[in-house]
Amino acid sequence: MSRYEEAKKIYSRIGIDTDKAIETLKNIPISIHCWQGDDVIGFDTKGSLTGGIQTTGNYPGKARTPEELMADIDKAFSLIPGKHKLNLHANYAIFEDGEFVDRDKIEPKHFKKWVEFAKERGLGLDFNPTFFSHPKASSFTLSSPDEEIRKFWVNHAIACIRISEYFATELNQPCVMNIWIPDGYKDIPADRISPRARFKKSLDEILDIDYDKEKVLVCLESKVFGIGMESYTVGSAEFCLSYAASKGIMPLMDNGHYHPTEVVSDKISSLLLFNKNLALHVTRPVRWDSDHVILLDDETKEICKEIVRCDDISRIKIATDYFDASINRVAAWIIGVRNLQKALLFGLLQPNNLLSNLQLKGELTELMMLQEEIKTYPMGDIWEEFCKQNNVIATEEWFNEIKTYEKEILSKRA
């Protein structure tokens, strides 16, 4: 009997069908962020990263061109099981033949190469307006008191909705378009409501345009603070959740965008009761929103258990969002996404009905016992079978391919 068959038998003791768990995991797409490969720089400006976010490290081999980034994405995806989506930021527009337009004028044609890339690989695309790393984002964007700057960013977001429609039409699947702004103050503001009123006005203007709401799933992401805006962010959790609920768009929770004592895993069930869909950015904050590579840690597993317990997993749009320049960037993609998939598998291998019934009946001692015993069940054997069925290396041997890729490709990007 194979190790998988043995593990399958063990899980059957608690009512888990491991074949069904594997099949379900195959059909959970993760929207994998493009910006791990080049430290969030993109191709439309030559400046440094701004907006209260920061990439640390200087590991050699950063992608410098669209072609290099696409090659790195290909290598990463080849070592990640399953079929996923690619998540783009607007600053990854590709201009050809000397053309350049500012962000308020970008068009679908500036992302044609990304659509071709996605079509050839059977991928979907998600999208994000880029409200940072731009001369007009030096202080405020959608909440700017300067009407010219505010309108510039409104027009940028509208352009991004049109590009998202283009993605959805060309790739025959909805495009999640996420709005996040870095606006805020370093110190205690004298007026908290006016910037939020301007932000609301901007969002109203953006969403007032006629667009296909089946094709473009607009979501709004909050943040507790950023570098240089430690005391006040315009797009707080309360603002973003309230606005999303009032407009019927998706709230997006990034698990690095909350106070250190808050956990997103506890928020998911509440939001699912009041929202048709929910979007997540999965990352790993260390002391602050530091966007570390995802580990198979307790909170990631708790988030994924809540995803799996949802009545319809497709209601939750899962994306990754981290950027580490201190290690091999391609390996960072693979480590993080594979850990997220392992956490999802861990959730799928929980006997949720049994556990919830024990809770309902007040059998809390047995509930604790079973929750702890499951932690040492042979999930690794199920993971290996999942990878085998997806023709991807299951064990740490995948890293040999990265070492070869670094030697032959990345090391030559001097």
- Please list the active-site residues: 180, 221, 223, 254, 257, 281, 289, 291, 321
∠ CA 108-250-40, rounded to 5°: 50
Phi, psi of 5 (to 5 degrees): -65, -40
CB 133 within 8 A of CB 91: yes
Distance CA 270, CA 380 (A): 31
CB 31 within 8 A of CB 84: yes
- List the alpha helices (DSSP H) in 216-318: 237-247, 268-274, 298-309
- Each residue of 2-17: b (16+ CB within 10 Å) or e? eebeebbeebeeeebe
Distance CA 314, CA 347 (A): 15
Is residue 291 helix, strand or coil?
Answer: strand
**Residue the block writes with tokens 């004592």:** 261
Q: Cβ of 92: how many Cβ atoms within 10 Å?
A: 23
Is residue 85 helix, strand or coil?
Answer: strand
- The strand pairing partners of 253, in sequence order, are 280
